[in-house]
Structure 1
Amino acid sequence: MEEVNKGVSLMKEGKLEEAAEFFTKIVEENPEDPIGYINFGNLLLHMNDLERAERFYKKAIELDSNAGTAFYGIGNLYFEQSNYKDAQVNYQKAIDLGLDEGDVYFMLGMAFQHQDHQKLALPYLQRAVELVPEDEAILFQYGLSLAQTDQIEIAQEVFQKVLTLDSKHSDALYNLGVTYLFKEHVKEALEYFNKALEIEPNHTLALNGKKLVEEMNNEH
């Protein structure tokens, strides 16, 4: 296990060739242990070698059909290929096998979002937030999912929480503007569009939102 952790650390440091050497050694010394194959699969996925990554994940599943992290890895592989339906199936399998981590719930929610199944995405994104409450990327996507299912006030609370974690999150500011516009609170919408543009002057959606509000104001 110490060897595996060292390989993972090398991968995180961007020392991919050294990590590959470590994982090769682990697989050779423990050919019946799925963990080595899973980590090698993760490395290959990181290197965008999708075909070989899939072979390593499937080898891990051959050795242990209950290896939830292998199914999670295959889910990520399909997600990278924009094959969201198969990604969804594998994420769900990983959860069914007991993988109870924020990332897998988040990715399952994202797989549903990409298939335009907003209501199906919502409970998985909510679970991801429960498991990793301070992750701004997960919080933001949860806020989007709430807004897309017309739960506007809760979405506003979530976007505000994103801003407590990152006050310069221009997309959260823009989407707050959209929620206020949805409620016909035009003044507040414009304030948030302007705040987004202060941080990111070329934020196309915020520019469009501001233009829309200004046109609405001119009509009155």
Structure 2
Amino acid sequence: MSFYEVSPAFYPLPHNKPLTFMIILNRINMLQMMVKAGLMRSAMAFLIVCSLLAIPCSGASEEYERHIAKGRAYLSEGLLGESESEFSKAVMLDPMEPTGLNNLGVVYLKQERVSEAIDLFNRALQLDPGSKSIKMNLAAAYESSGDESNFLRIMGSIEDPDVHYGLGRSFAEKKDHDRAYSELSAALELDPNHYDSLKLLSILLYENGSYDKAILVSKRVLEINPRHIYSMILAGDSYLELGEYEKASDYYNAALRANPGYELAKSKIKIAKGDVEHENRERAGYAIFYLSLAAGAGLAYFLHKTE
């Protein structure tokens, strides 16, 4: 499985907000959009249609809620045909409520009706622009369609440090360090102590020769987890590159104390002491080695179970 292959078992929206409140907000949002666009006649027509169709602005029917509940129950049992029927009925009752649209999109995605799922998720997102669940589903649908550009665009719009870390790791693995830095920076803006982002950032800084910065970030990792051996090794390697052999030895010895049988730490202590020529040591594979140490593959953040 490639990094961008996201499991299509996603996020039916939880239906735990009072439907009355949600419908009122949706109606207000739609009317505001129409008024701002100068579509006064459309706004009036919208109110009239709501009235004629007996879809009151004050709330949705209990029937809508029953269809949503039944659809989710069927979906949890893997009964796609039955869940599609229930969610479709809910959407017919209230096409302006994002829950039904999103959940029906999940069913379509499971049925590999990707273009239809994308349409539903986009409609749901217009009604609820801040929904992480809908964005994750839409991104997964774009990924399934092979549209990497829109996949990255939607994923990048989600304010979640784990998501930005996952994207950053994918770019790092592709050696696209500029975009990797951008995503890791976004993750750390949301959570300055995001552990995985700090670890990966320290690795990238080391690979790019920014040894002073790699040391600083490694120290931040060690503040969060004082026993993270690989950050000790990376800090030691960075000091070694700067010619500060005593400080390098300090970090290698710390790694050895944390794991007395750690042969890599033993060999690096010899290097720092000058027992082995620093310039002649084997460097091949360092980038791969360090990337393999970053705990938690980014892909893990794109795999979600159906709620």
Deviation string 1:19-54 (CA, Å, 9 cap, x unpaired) is 93499787664345354378789xxxxxxxxxx869
Q: Distance in 2 between matches of 1:209 and 1:75?
A: 46
What residue identity is the alignment partner of 2:120? Answer: L
**Counterpart among 127, 130, 136 of residue 195 in structure 2:** 136
**Counterpart among 139, 145, 153 of residue 93 in structure 1:** 153
What residue identity is the alignment partner of 1:191? Answer: D
2:224 is equivalent to residue 165 of structure 1 = yes
Match of 1:10 in 2: none
* RCO comparison, higher one (Cα < 8 Å, 6+): 2
Q: Distance in 2 between matches of 1:74 and 1:119?
A: 26
Match of 1:193 in 2: 252
Deviation string 1:85-137 (CA, Å, 9 cap, x unpaired) is x79645522146x3232122211111111112223311211111111222211
Task: Indicate the SS of the match to 1:141.
Answer: helix
Q: Distance in 2 between matches of 1:63 and 1:208?
A: 58
Task: Indicate the SS of the match to 2:186.
Answer: helix
Match of 2:121 in 1: 64
| More divergent stretch after superposition (156-165 vs 205-214) | 205-214
Q: Distance in 2 between matches of 1:90 and 1:147?
A: 31
Match of 1:20 in 2: 76
Report percent identity of matched pairs.
20
Aligned pair count reads 190
2:170 is equivalent to residue 111 of structure 1 = yes
Give unmatched runs, 5+ long, in structure 2: 1-12, 18-74, 92-99, 126-133, 279-307
What residue identity is the alignment partner of 2:211? Answer: I
**1:205 and 1:217, CA in 2 relative to 1: closer, same or farther beyond 3 A?**
closer
More helix per residue: 1 or 2? Answer: 1
Give unmatched runs, 5+ long, in structure 1: 6-18, 42-51, 78-85
What residue identity is the alignment partner of 2:154? Answer: A
8 Å contact from structure 1 (residues 118, 148) kept in 2: no
TM-score, normalised via structure 1 length: 0.65
Q: Distance in 2 between matches of 1:54 and 1:183?
A: 56
TM-score, normalised via structure 2 length: 0.49
Match of 2:269 in 1: 210
Structure (1 or 2) with the larger CA radius of gyration = 2
Task: Indicate the SS of the match to 2:183.
Answer: helix
